[in-house]
Chain A
Amino acid sequence: MTLTVNGERVALRARTLAEALEELGYGEERIATALNETFVPAVARETTMLEDGDRLEIVAPRQGG
């Protein structure tokens, strides 16, 4: 299926959010996710199923004011 990950279209084999993060290479990084503009906590990644066209945001710590 094809997802939009951080604004870019990406083809993935993954069926769950956890599989997608693994396939994308995020591994053990300190990240948080939102699927279709809704926060998905880390504990729910394995049970969160993806659908073609989903929009996934992956964020990490950054500088801020």
Chain B
Amino acid sequence: MPIYYGTQIDSPLMLGTAQYPSPAVLAEAFRRSGAGIATVSVRREARGARAGDGFWALIRELGVHILPNTAGCHSVREAVTTAQMAREIFATDWIKLEVIGHSDTLQPDPFGLVEAARILCGEGFKVFPYTTEDLVVAERLLEAGCEVLMPWGAPIGTGLGLNNVYGLRSLRAHFPDLPLVVDAGLGLPSHAAHAMELGYDGVLLNTAVARAGDPAAMAEGFARALEAGRLAHGADPMEPRDMAAPSTPVIGQAFLS
């Protein structure tokens, strides 16, 4: 099971907490998925609303690790300030660092991401950067102090799966001992299984579960797929080949023609 910044987590699944039809469905999805980490955010609180306190109580009851994000931040300053506020609110040094570079694709701004990661690592944060699968950006993030990388599978909320399998495989090969998590873009359990078959340590998803017709069932589906993929990777899969090869023995076949 994955170890992030010295903390072992009993599940490869990081599950988001947004977009569920109700708090009860959210809680049931977490229970059936066995997710070990919940992602959360900070947002403006209206006077007298006390919405934050209610959500905080719900999350505490889940009994999982909390990973706050900087979702929606488009600049280094925004992301750093948001991370600082999140650390105080959630009482954790963990931060899922998002610095969004494009409003259509919600893809990371790699330049701002590296700069923000350097600042936050310097302030003692344990940074989980939402990044692309770009190898050079990955190296810069490690130089900045990150000990986990979270490359995207596809743009946030698209459900397209792993758009660049080569890039993800390459990242895994270059950093065999680094915790790697596919973050964003997954739509089906098979996508999660694929990530684990590539040797990834986990996946982070939200929309695929929360927007499913039955979020709790989908959450369990993802959990089973993650386990299947993890077992397959550890079992040393066969190499694909272009030509067919019979699996049933040829020797001893009756001569009937």
Contact = CB atoms under 8 A, between A and B. Distances in A.
Interface residues of A, number: 25
A30 interface: yes
Interface residues of B, number: 40
Contacts, number: 108
Interface of A: 6-7, 24-26, 29-34, 37-39, 41-42, 57-65
A64 B156 contact: no
Contacts of A39: 81, 84-85, 88
19 contacts: A6-B45, A33-B85, A34-B81, A37-B78, A39-B85, A59-B42, A59-B43, A59-B45, A60-B45, A60-B51, A62-B42, A62-B55, A64-B68, A65-B17, A65-B19, A65-B39, A65-B71, A65-B204, A65-B205
Given A25-B48, A39-B81, A64 B89 contact: no
Contacts of A59: 42-45, 52, 85, 89
B207 to A, nearest CB: 7
Interface string B40-63: 111111111011110110010000
A62 B40 contact: yes
